[in-house]
Amino acid sequence: MNSSQTELGHPTAIAVSIVGDSLVVDLADGRSLTIPLAWFPRLEHATELERAKWRLIGNGEGIHWPELDEDISVESLLMGRKSGESPDSLRRWMKWRSGGPREPGEGLGSGHELSGDLRNRFPRIYELRDQVSDPNSPDFYFRDFENRVQKWPTWIEVFEGWEKDLQGLDNQSFDSLKSEALPYLIHRDAKGRGWQQLFDILNQARAYNYLTLNGYSRVRFIPRSEVQGRKTPDLEAFQGDERVLCEVKTLNASDNEIKARRNREVRNVSLELGDAFFVKLRSAINQAQEQLSAYSAGTSARYVVYISVCFDDIFCYYKADYQRQIDEHLSMNRIPDVEVVVHFDSFRRRP
């Protein structure tokens, strides 16, 4: 098998409608999803006018109802996930709708109110956060989390993306990823790359979701080897009876770009990725293939290499041009029996 593809993101919506007791979402790839309104209590209790006032967010990756404060991701619909809102949160929202007094946890207020709201909104991010015994450590990624979100509300969108990725994992897989991420929650890179290692690990959730959304079954994280020096792939899955192994790699911004960001220097971003980028890309694919081959020696398995790319172009203005160049490179440098998936990262995922 010779396969490669560039994954620009998750499936996207282009239209939304309410038909009877169902939410109907039309996707850009031609599919149409029909979901019971009962899955989403806020929509179920809303008026027709409130339901009609929706807008697409994240270039169609999600749907937002501003008058209901409701957000639903296309990915969660594809996975068959119902609303995760707790009964207490729904009760407070219903009380607010009826004109009752506001209670702690309603709206983005301050102090305890803000903390309660965020904990309800980002339960898995808080599970990550709560693992750290010293939340005041200067190297703790989530230090002063609530205050920072209050000061820069645009971070809400960033963490919505990560919460969506983490919500895609089953409980056992999330526990596994959470344990692996723990040491890096309080480990900041001294050379200006922040918590790069933490995000390298969290990117595994994206690969997990990619496998799930594309029909793979029994997806799980592979436990790390206790043998020193022996590396294991990140994920195992099955397609029918065929075993699939997946290794996740991250290509981060160049050293020159990191230096420029740290020093707040003005710089130009090239439309062309250049030889240095493709050397890094090829090296990452080769390393992943060697890792997968060593692990599966003597057994039959198909390989998936999932690569998350953080460009020097932090806003991904040239994303379409980069996609074309990467697709051309992969089509001319195919690797037998390896599926290569490239996901583009952007500043919205790296607060």
Give residue limits of the domains in the chain. Answer: 13-82, 104-167, 170-349
pTM of the shown model: 0.66
Query: Phi then psi for 218, rounded to 5 degrees?
Result: 50, 45
According to the model, what pLDDT value does residue 315 have? Answer: 61
- The rounded Cα 40 to chain-centroid distance in angstroms is 22
Q: How far is the C-alpha of 225 from the C-alpha of 229, rounded, in Å?
A: 9
Q: How far is the C-alpha of 69 from the C-alpha of 75, rounded, in Å?
A: 19
- Tell me the per-residue pLDDT of 91-150, one tens digit each, with 9 for 90 and over: 877 877 765 544 433 444 434 444 557 788 889 999 999 999 888 888 899 888 887 777
Taking only Cα atoms into account, the Rg of the chain, rounded to an integer number of angstroms, comes to 21
Q: Which residues of the chain register pLDDT less than 50?
A: 1-3, 6, 8-9, 101-114, 347-351
- Tell me the per-residue pLDDT of 22-62, one tens digit each, with 9 for 90 and over: 999 998 888 889 999 999 999 999 999 889 989 888 778 88
Q: How far is the C-alpha of 247 from the C-alpha of 224, rounded, in Å?
A: 13
Q: Which CATH number fits domain 13-82: 3.40.50.150, 3.40.50.80, 3.20.20.70, 3.30.2020.40?
A: 3.30.2020.40
According to the model, what pLDDT value does residue 8 have? Answer: 44
According to the model, what pLDDT value does residue 14 have? Answer: 92
